[in-house]
Structure 1
Amino acid sequence: MPSLSEDEGMILFLMDLVRIDTNASERRNYWEIVKLIRDRAESIGMRTHIQVFRDERGDLPNLIAWKDLGAEKNLLLLSHYDVVPAKGPWRINGMEFDPFDPRRVDGRIYGRGAADDKSAIALSLSACQIVMEGGEAEYNPIVAVVGDEEVGGTGVTALADGGLDEAGIRPDAVVVIDAAPDFVGIGASGVIHGDIIVRGRGGHAGRPFSSLNPINMAIKLADELLTGFSQIHAMKLSKIPSPPDSPVPKLWGRFSITKVEAGTQHNVIPSEATIGFDIRFIPDEDKEEVIERFKAALSAASCKIGADVELKIKDTANPGWMTDPDNDFVRDVLASYEKHFGSRAIAGSLGGNDGFVFARKGIPTVSLGTIEIESNAHGELENVREDIILKMRDTIVDLLT
Structure 2
Amino acid sequence: MADTLRDELFDWLRIPSISTGGGDPADLVRAAEWAVAKIERAGGTASLESPIAGGNPLVVGELPASTNPDGTATVLIYGHYDVQGAEPFDLWDSPPFEPTVRDGRIYARGAADDKGNFLPLLAAACDLATAGELPVNVRIAIEGEEEAGGASIAAWLAADARGADAAIVYDSAMASPELPAITIGLRGVVLLTFDVRAAERDLHSGIFGGSALNSLHALHSALAQVLPDPATGVVRDELRVGIAPVADAERATWGGLPDGDEALAASGARPAYPGAGAEYVERNGSDAALDVNQIVAGDARTVIAGVARATLSIRLAPGQDPDAMGAKLLELLRSGLPEGAELTVVSSHQAQPALFPADTAAIVLAAQAIERATGSAPALVRSGGSIPIVADFAAKGIPAIVTGFTLPDDPIHAPNESIWERGLELGYAAGREMLIGLAALGDQ
Q: Considering the TM-score relative to the shorter chain, is it more than 0.5?
A: yes
* Alignment check: 8 A CA contact 2:50 2:152 kept: no
CA contact (8 A) 2:14 2:97 kept: no
Q: Deviations over 1:120-170 (max 9, x none)?
A: 3322321122212331123122221123334444233212123x55xxx54
Aligned runs of 1:177-192 on 2, under 5 Å? 177-182=170-175, 183-192=181-190
Report how far residue 14 of structure 1 moved. 4.5
Q: CA deviation at 1:73?
A: 1.6
Aligned residue identity for 2:185? G
Name the structure 2 match of 1:343: 377
The DSSP-based 3-state class of the residue aligned with 2:393 is helix
Number of aligned residue pairs: give it: 387
Is 1:36 aligned to 2:34, yes or no? yes
Match of 1:257 in 2: 292
> Cα gap change, 1:289/1:234 in structure 2, threshold over 3 Å: closer, same or farther?
closer
SS in 2 for 1:198: strand
Report the equivalent of 1:62: 58
Letter in 2 for 1:142: R
Q: Which residue of 2 aligns with 1:367?
A: 402
> Contact 1:11–1:386 at 8 Å: present in 2 too?
no
- Counterpart residue number, 1:395: 430
| Equivalent position of 1:334 in the other structure | 367
1: CA distance, partners of 2:353 / 2:188: 4
Q: List runs of 5+ in structure 1 lacking aligned partners.
A: none
| One-letter amino acid of the counterpart of residue 366, structure 2 | V
- Aligned partners of 1:63 and 1:145 also within 8 Å: yes
Residue identity matched to 1:334: A
Q: In 2 relative to 1, CA 279–115 (structure 1 residues): closer, same or farther, beyond 3 Å?
A: farther
- Alignment partners' CA distance in 1, 2:306 and 2:110: 39
Q: Deviations over 1:203-238 (max 9, x none)?
A: 477868467654565466556533369622479753
Partner of 1:324: 357
C-alpha displacement of 1:308: 2.8
- Compared with structure 1, are the counterparts of its residues 386 and 197 closer, same or farther at alpha carbon in structure 2 (3 Å cutoff)? farther
Matches within 5 A, 1:171-210: 171-182=164-175, 183-201=181-199, 202-203=201-202, 209=208
CA distance in structure 1 between the partners assigned to 2:298 and 2:85 by the alignment = 24
Structure (1 or 2) with the larger CA radius of gyration: 2
The one-letter code matched in structure 1 to 2:309 is T
Change (3 A) 1:260 1:84: farther
- Between 32-41 and 383-392, report the one with greater CA deviation: 32-41
Q: Kindly tell me: are residues 266 and 346 of structure 1, through their superposed partners in 2, closer, same or farther at Cα, counting changes over 3 Å? A: same
Which of residues 35, 46, 49 in structure 2 aligns to 1:48?
Answer: 46
Flag the 1:255–1:115 CA change in 2: closer, same or farther, 3 A: farther
Q: For 1:143 and 1:155, how far apart are their aligned partners in 2? A: 14
The one-letter code of the counterpart of 1:147 is G
> What's the % identity of the aligned pairs?
21
* Contact 2:186–2:383 (CA under 8 A) maintained in structure 1: yes
C-alpha displacement of 1:112: 3.7
Q: Partner residue of 1:159?
A: 156
2:96 & 2:220 partners in 1: Cα distance?
A: 35
C-alpha spacing 1:50/1:309, structure 2 compared with 1 (3 Å): same
Q: Which is further off, 22-31 or 129-138?
A: 22-31
Relative to the length of structure 1, the TM-score reads 0.82
Aligned to 1:131: 128
Give CA-to-partner distance per residue, 1:231-252, whole Å, 9 cap, x none.
2247975334587345143611
**Is 1:291 aligned with 2:326?**
yes
| SS across alignment from 1:330 | helix
Which residue does 1:238 correspond to in 2? 244
Where does structure 2 lack aligned partners over 5 or more consecutive residues?
176-180, 261-279, 437-444
Cα pair distance change 1:310/1:63, threshold 3 Å: same
For 2:136, give the aligned amino acid. Y
**Which letter does structure 1 place at the counterpart of 2:314?**
I
Query: Secondary structure of the residue that 2:56 maps to in structure 1?
Result: strand
- CA shift digits 1:81-106 (9 cap, x unpaired): 334455312536xx3x5555554332
**Local SS of the residue matching 1:326:** coil
Q: Aligned partners of 1:144 and 1:81: how far apart in 2?
A: 10
Distance 1:400 1:306, change over 3 A: same
Give the partner amino acid of 2:170.
I
- Amino acid aligned to 1:73: A
AA aligned to 2:123 is: S
Distance of aligned partners of 1:46 and 1:284 in 2 relative to their CA distance in 1, 3 Å threshold: same
Look up the match of 1:121: 118
Corresponding residue SS for 2:52: strand
2-side partners of 1:112 and 1:257: how far apart? 31
- Could you tell me how far apart the structure 1 residues matched to 2:297 and 2:327 are? 26
* Matches of 2:341 and 2:97, distance apart in 1: 44
Q: Counterpart of 1:82? A: 82
One-letter code aligned to 2:323:
E
Matched, 1:109 2:106: yes
Instruction: Tell me if the contact between 2:61 and 2:139 (Cα under 8 Å) persists in the aligned partners.
Output: yes
Q: 1:237 to 1:67 in 2, by over 3 A?
A: same
8 A Cα contact 2:221 2:337, kept in partner = no
- By how many angstroms is 1:321 displaced? 1.6
Measured in 1, the distance between the counterparts of 2:207 and 2:421 equals: 57
Q: Secondary structure of 2:130's partner?
A: helix
TM-score for the superposition, normalised by structure 2: 0.75
- Find the aligned partners of 1:114 and 1:223 in 2 and give their Cα distance: 43
Task: Choose 5-14 or 186-195, whichever is displaced more.
Answer: 5-14
Separation in structure 1 between the aligned mates of residue 414 and residue 241 of structure 2, nearest angstrom: 29
For residues 86 and 205 of structure 1, what CA distance do their matches in structure 2 show? 45
Deviation for aligned residue 1:21: 1.8
In the superposition, relative to structure 1, how do residues 116 and 226 fare at CA in structure 2: closer, same or farther (>3 Å)? farther
Structure with bigger strand share is: 1
Give me the whole-angstrom Cα distance separating, in 2, the residues matched to 1:301 and 1:101.
54
Indicate the SS of the match to 1:23: coil
CA contact (8 A) 1:108 1:383 kept: yes
Instruction: Say if 1:140 and 1:13 are closer, same or farther in 2 by CA, change over 3 A.
Output: farther
